[in-house]
């Protein structure tokens, strides 16, 4: 925990308190005329830009901030091609689905299934699947900032897991949907502030913009276009662009997206919101990919790949390791980046909780109970936020331990989809002959310091590297490489 200073903790605390403050403000603002619909859906008169920002950051979680750079670091920029498929799908959805969804007089997206297919069973089937999926995603996103804080500050992951969830539950509980949206806007500012701080400092330390791109490209990572039709390859143009186009067509049909479409006042404003979101996704994911570019260029310039040197065991810890390395002597910036990680995770979790509470009330409780007052129904939705938050904590701990008729056809298709995806995932891990992308050349290893002579790759460290070490690090080099090796270089 010595790495973080008091000012870093102050910045993180400020980010947390801001989110809580927004929730409290929205709760007090709407106290006199709050209904269950307003709590779950907002006023229905929200401006397009804040809602669009909320939708973007709802999907740009801490997983994006840590996982995407690790993907680009290891396998190159090829992943980014998927975003063009999503962009095309967003443009189609803006004309095909958004107007229809906006006109629906429902709060749960799955209520449409009952109206369309005249079956309450298919509605419940879809709702249960969505809740299970949402809880799994909630716990996974919750675990991300915990891993980062443990790597950077030494804070036990269970403390972060519980603490972050308490914050999310409190402001979602007291403020409802509007608190979630406006908190997302504030968190977006913090999130991108932290990302740009890392990009700027990392690029400088990597030798500048030209050196960064040259380093990344020379190691074969500008691999955007791979038209190999082999379906067993990990990533190709076809699986990324075509696959993401198909996947993206279903995004408006998620409860998180549907609530934001309904939050705008008119069809025109909903379409404007979705167009802004389409371009924003392209830009934000490009920024996340650029994190991976800078990450690789930095360690290549440093001369020691953290994965090959076993400084980190998990690729998702690479960004946390870089934060430690580049911000070690820079006041406030470590706290800013951690606040960005927190903000990215908070926005996603609050949106997920809000969507789950809406599904629980509209699909599970409301159709199966007698009409009740707004006060009672709002209390039920608030309690569901608490319950789902608690389950999310449990899921996060589980994640941390892991190394005929149309109606019948829809149900069978849903079950088959789950079985098929599970079969593919399990088969990938148990079948050694499955084709995968060839791992790209790692970053330079010429300046790595290893603790064991038997695994030393380069025992001749350059003099400028030795000069940059403090006494403790120099003693470590002497122990690892031998006193004579260090003395010889000191003389040279």
Each residue's pLDDT, cut to its tens digit, for the chain (492 residues) gives 456 778 888 888 888 888 778 777 776 776 655 677 777 777 777 889 999 998 888 887 667 788 888 888 888 888 899 999 999 999 999 999 999 999 988 888 898 888 888 888 889 998 998 898 888 888 888 887 777 777 666 777 788 888 888 888 888 888 788 888 888 888 888 888 888 989 999 999 998 999 999 988 888 788 888 888 877 777 888 888 988 999 899 889 888 899 899 989 999 999 999 999 999 999 999 999 999 999 999 998 888 888 888 887 777 778 888 888 888 888 788 888 888 887 878 888 888 888 899 899 889 998 888 888 888 888 899 899 999 999 989 888 887 765 533 333 544 444 556 666 666 666 655 665 555 556 677 777 777 766 554 444 444 444 444 455 555 555 555 554 444 434 444 434
Residue 224: Cβ-neighbour burial (10 angstroms; 0-12, 13-18, 19+): middle
Alpha-carbon distances, residue 393 vs 95, 127, 340 (angstroms): 38, 21, 21
The per-residue b/e assignment along 39-71, b for 16 or more CB within 10 angstroms, e otherwise, is bbbbeeebebebbbbbbbbbbbbbbbbbbbbbb
Phi-psi region of 220 (alpha: psi -120 to 50; beta: other; left: phi over 0): left
pTM of the model: 0.76
Give kind and range of the element (H or E) at residue 276.
Answer: helix 267-302
Give the HSE-up count for residue 39: Cα atoms under 13 Å, Cβ half-sphere.
Answer: 32
Helices (H), 305-450: 318-326, 333-359, 374-400, 406-430
CATH hierarchy code of domain 6-444: 1.20.1730.10
Rounded Cα distance, 273 and 200, in Å: 30
**How many CB atoms within 10 Å of residue 218?**
11
Going from N- to C-terminal start, the domains of the chain cover 6-444, 449-492
Per the CB < 8 A criterion, the answer to whether 213 and 293 are in contact is: yes
């Amino acid at each position: 925990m010595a790495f973080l200073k008091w000012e870093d903790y102050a910045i993180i605390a400020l980010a947390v308190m801001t989110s809580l403050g927004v929730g409290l403000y929205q709760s007090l603002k709407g106290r006199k005329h709050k209904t269950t619909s307003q709590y779950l859906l907002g006023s229905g008169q929200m401006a397009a830009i804040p809602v669009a920002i909320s939708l973007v950051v709802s999907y740009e979680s801490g997983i994006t901030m840590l996982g995407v750079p690790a993907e680009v670091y290891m396998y190159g920029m090829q992943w980014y091609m998927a975003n063009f498929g999503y962009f095309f799908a967003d443009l189609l959805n803006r004309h095909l689905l958004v107007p229809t969804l906006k006109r629906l007089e429902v709060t749960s997206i799955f209520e449409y299934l009952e109206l369309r297919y005249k079956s309450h069973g298919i509605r419940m089937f879809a709702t249960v699947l969505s809740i299970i999926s949402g809880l799994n995603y909630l716990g996974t996103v919750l675990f991300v900032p915990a891993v980062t804080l443990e790597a950077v500050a030494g804070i036990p992951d269970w403390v972060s897991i519980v603490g972050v969830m308490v914050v999310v539950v409190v402001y979602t509980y007291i403020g409802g949907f509007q608190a979630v949206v406006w908190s997302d806007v504030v968190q977006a500012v913090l999130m991108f502030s932290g990302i740009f701080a890392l990009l700027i400092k990392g690029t400088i330390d990597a030798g500048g913009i030209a050196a960064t791109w040259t380093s990344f490209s020379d190691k074969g990572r500008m691999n955007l276009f791979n038209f190999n039709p082999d379906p067993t390859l990990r990533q190709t143009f076809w699986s990324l662009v075509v696959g993401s186009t198909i996947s993206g067509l279903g995004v408006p049909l998620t409860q998180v997206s549907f609530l934001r479409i309904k939050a705008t006042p008119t069809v025109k404003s909903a379409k404007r919101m979705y167009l802004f979101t389409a371009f924003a996704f392209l830009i934000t994911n490009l920024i996340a990919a650029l994190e991976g570019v800078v990450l690789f260029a930095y360690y290549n310039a440093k001369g020691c790949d953290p994965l090959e040197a076993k400084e980190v065991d998990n690729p998702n810890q690479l960004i946390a390791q870089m934060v430690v390395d580049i911000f070690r002597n820079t006041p406030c910036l470590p706290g800013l980046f951690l606040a960005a990680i927190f903000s990215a995770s908070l926005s996603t979790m609050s949106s997920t909780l809000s969507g789950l509470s809406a599904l629980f009330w509209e699909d599970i409780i409301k159709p199966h109970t007698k009409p009740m007052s707004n006060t009672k129904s709002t209390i039920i939705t608030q309690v569901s936020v608490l319950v789902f938050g608690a389950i999310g904590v449990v899921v996060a701990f589980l994640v941390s331990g892991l190394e005929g008729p149309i109606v019948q056809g829809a149900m069978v298709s849903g079950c088959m989809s789950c079985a098929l995806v599970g079969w593919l995932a399990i088969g990938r891990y148990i079948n050694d002959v499955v084709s995968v992308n060839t791992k790209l050349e790692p970053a330079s290893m010429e300046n790595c310091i290893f603790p064991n002579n038997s695994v030393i790759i380069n025992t001749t460290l350059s003099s400028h590297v030795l000069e940059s070490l403090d006494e403790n690090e120099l003693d470590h080099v002497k122990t690892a490489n031998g006193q004579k090796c260090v003395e010889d270089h000191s003389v040279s």
